[in-house]
């Protein structure tokens, strides 16, 4: 799936690996909180849309059992991390050594 996502748009892959960097703002206590949608600028919308596209691709590629595991996550990165943990060790590649 990695290659498929990268081939669609490498920015999608960056969003999954690095996180969506969703828009935030500081509240009166100086804490970072999610920025209200009504105050999004064009750059904020691009970041949110990139995350939504990445989530869509992941959801379209998984079965219903996996969907139930990841559907509540906000970011594609969280979804991807959960799937990695779930399938950790199941995609093993045999160690093939060449002998002279």
pLDDT in tens, 38-72: 999 999 999 999 999 999 999 999 999 999 999 99
Average pLDDT, the chain: 87
pLDDT at residue 83 is higher than 70: yes
* Segment 1-18 mean pLDDT: 92
pTM of the model: 0.77
Residues in CB range of 11: below 8 A, 6 or more apart: 50
CA distance 91 to 82: 15
Encoded tokens for 78:
């969280």
């Amino acid at each position: 799936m990695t290659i498929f996502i990268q081939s669609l748009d490498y920015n999608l892959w960056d969003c999954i690996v690095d996180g969506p960097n969703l828009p935030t703002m500081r509240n009166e206590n100086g804490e970072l909180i999610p920025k209200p949608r009504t105050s999004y600028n064009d750059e904020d919308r691009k970041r949110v849309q990139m995350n939504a596209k990445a989530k869509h691709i992941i959801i379209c590629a998984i079965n219903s059992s996996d969907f139930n595991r990841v559907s509540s996550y906000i970011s594609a990165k969280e979804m991807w991390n959960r799937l990695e943990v779930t399938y950790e060790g199941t995609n093993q590649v045999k160690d093939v050594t060449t002998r002279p």
